[in-house]
Amino acid sequence: MSDQWKFETQAVHAGAAPDPVTGARQVPIYQTTAYQFRDADHAARLFNLQEVGYIYSRLTNPTIQALQARLAALEGGAGAVCCSSGHAAQIMALFPLMGPGRNLVASSRLYGGTLTQFSHTIRRFGWSAKFVDLDDLDALRAAIDEDTRAVFIESISNPGGYVTDIPAVAEIASSAGVPLIVDNTLATPVLCRPIEMGATLVVHSLTKYMTGNGTVTGGAVIDSGSFDWSASDRFPSLSAPEPAYHGLKFHETFGPAAFTFHAIAIGLRDLGMTLNPQAAHYTLMGIETLPLRMPRHVENARTVAEWLEADPRVTSVTYAGLPSSPYADRVAELYPRGAGALFSFAVRGGYDACVRLIGALKLFSHVANLGDTRSLAIHPASTTHRQLTEAQQTAAGASPDLVRLSIGIEDPSDLIADLDQALTAAAG
Ligand SMILES: *Cc1c(COP(=O)(O)O)cnc(C)c1O
């Protein structure tokens, strides 16, 4: 029945039901580490993955299970696994697919922390990443080789205001027999449903719009359930016998739930990147209003971006939601509900003017976050993207004269007044 509910209804109800013992209507915070087994046979069946249930909260917890079911419903997936942050979700998504000597092909336009994770940290596991500009689909085709195990992109990318042609990328990944992973943090399933466009896995930082009010650090991986892990011998974690579970083959045994089961039974069990139940509870509450918040974020972003674009103190505004954007046609076709609420603008006077502007803002908060009900501002070149070389900064849309805004749900006239006085301070 819940499968037939519309998106707004799913956002409030999917995965949740009144507690059968107490009648508690909101999803309770199951603040417990362990769960009592009915008997020895029950315990054995749980440990053998012959029965689904609760053993220990590093793996499964009822509050988190409700959130996983809701996320799977909203993204149109077969299953979901939550984890401790968006960055944890990226490792959890890659872990069953990769191995030493394997690579992923990633967009060059990604969240700064993701570029760092893929350029440096994953090398410790013997994995590597090749970065390509997704406006050059031939470069993407050419980059995929025998050792490629995933293509990784963002639907709307941070902070460049880039929107990805997901169907075109999915088609290329699919014909190469490689799963496509889409980070849908900035779009949320309100603005983009990557699985409907051919994505295999969707990853989220729940930290951002999903919770929506800057209270939680969390992440999730949602699996489409449609990738054939057994079509080749490239994904042995999912297709070959698993020694730690008596030779069980995840794909053969669990079908469309293979990735989700593996992510819990191996990923959370051994990597331990577990979300906590309180964070899951906040995120469930946040998601209830996601379909109301996102259109307001988008509308405000467009109002502020248009005002900035018309201001002589501003050199340019990079926002795919503006009619002047080179991606306006792609937005109209693939992202009809809007291009998100994060964008950047270039300030006359460069790096120093940006630093003065940030210092003069009163209503906007100067923080390294996005997707909050509050409007936020940051100068990426001196903060989130400062680990990158200047070439990487520019490729990622974070050149030294850019300020990035995450537009909240306040009254846009107050936001414009704050930017107006800060631009005056920046010029002086
Ligand atoms: C914030 C963010 C991440 C990382 O998420 P955390 O929850 O901070 O670990 C990944 N991708 C995008 C697009 C983000 O905005």
Structure tokens belonging to residue 369: 């976050």
Compute, in degrees rounded to 10, the torsion defined by CA atoms 325, 326, 330, 336. 10
d(CA 326, CA 321): 10
* Residue 1 predicted with pLDDT over 70: no
Contacts of 274 (CB under 8 A, 6+ apart): 57, 58, 59, 83, 84, 268
Surface-to-core class of residue 397, CB atoms within 10 Å of its CB (0-12 exposed, 13-18 middle, 19+ buried): buried
User: Sorting pLDDT into bands at 50, 70 and 90, what band is 211?
Assistant: very high
Alpha carbon distance 367, 375 (integer Å)? 10
For atom 2 of ligand 1, which residue has the closest CA?
205
Query: What distance in angstroms lies between residue 176's CA and the mean position of ligand 1's atoms?
Result: 28
- pTM assigned to the model: 0.96
Stretch 282-291: mean pLDDT: 98
> Taking a C-beta distance cutoff of 8 angstroms, is the pair 348, 177 a contact?
no
Testing ligand 1's pocket by substitution, the residue of 207, 297, 344 carrying the most ligand atoms inside 8 A of its CB is: 207
Q: Which residue has the higher pLDDT, 1 or 77?
A: 77
The pLDDT score that the predictor gives to residue 175 is 97
How much is the average pLDDT of 141-153? 98
Q: In angstroms, what is the C-alpha Rg of the chain?
A: 22
C-alpha 370 – ligand 1 centre gap (Å): 9
Higher-scoring residue by pLDDT: 426, 49 = 426
Confidence of residue 384 (pLDDT cuts 50, 70, 90): confident
Contact 404, 348 (CB under 8 A): no
- Pocket-testing residue among 82, 87, 157, 188, ligand 1, by greatest number of atoms within 8 A of Cβ: 87
CA distance readout (Å), 172 to 143, 166, 198, 329 = 11, 10, 10, 21
Tens digit of each residue's pLDDT (9 = 90 or more) over 11-65: 999 999 999 999 999 999 999 999 999 999 999 999 888 888 999 999 999 999 9
Residue 389 confidence (pLDDT) above 70: yes
Helix/strand number for the chain, H first, E second: 18, 14
pLDDT, tens digit (0-9, with 9 covering 90-100), for 94-140: 999 999 999 999 999 998 889 999 999 999 999 999 999 999 999 99
Given a cut of 90, whether residue 244 has pLDDT beyond it is no
What is the number of the ligand 1 atom nearest to the C-alpha of 110? 13
> Amino acid identity of 316?
S
How many Å apart are CA 57 and CA 130, to the nearest integer? 36
Distance CA 378, CA 48 (A): 49
Q: Give the pLDDT confidence score for residue 2 in this predicted structure.
A: 64
- The whole-number average pLDDT for the span 270-280 is 97
Q: What does the pLDDT read at residue 155?
A: 97
Tell how strand 201-205 and strand 180-183 pair up: parallel
Tell me which residue has its CA closest to atom 1 in ligand 1. Answer: 205
DSSP 399: -
Question: What is the arithmetic mean of pLDDT over 294-315?
Answer: 97
CA 185 to CA 267: how far, in whole Å?
Answer: 21
* Tokens of residue 305, six digits: 């971006």
Which tokens belong to 400? 């030294």
Q: What are the two backbone dihedrals, phi and then psi, of residue 343, each rounded to the nearest 5 degrees? A: -155, 170
What is the reported pLDDT for 328? 94
Q: What is the pLDDT of residue 236?
A: 97
Task: Give residue for tokens 């406006």.
Answer: 135
Cα 25 to ligand 1 centroid, rounded to whole Å: 31
Domains, the chain: 16-286 (3.40.640.10), 289-426 (3.90.1150.10)
391 or 198, greater pLDDT: 198
- Tell me, what's the pLDDT at 278? 98
Average pLDDT, stretch 262-286? 97
**Closest alpha carbon to 325 in 350, 311, 306:** 306
The band of 386, judged by pLDDT with boundaries at 50, 70 and 90, is confident
Instruction: Return the pLDDT at 421.
Output: 98
- Within 6 A (CB) of ligand 1 lie 85-87, 111, 113-114, 154, 158, 183, 185-186, 205, 207-208, 217, 219, 370
**Atom nearest to 206 CA in ligand 1:** 7
3-class SS at 159?
Answer: coil
Q: Ligand 1 atom closest to Cα of 207?
A: 7
pLDDT tens for 163-209 read: 999 999 999 999 999 999 999 999 999 999 999 999 999 999 999 99
Distance 87 CA to ligand 1 centre (A): 6
- pLDDT value at residue 381: 85
Average pLDDT, the chain: 95
Instruction: Judge whether residue 383 has pLDDT over 90.
Output: no
83 bridge partner residues: 219
Closest by CA position to 170, among listed 134, 142, 206? 134
Arithmetic mean of pLDDT, 211-231: 97
CA 62/CA 411 separation, integer angstroms? 38
- pLDDT, residue 160, reads 61
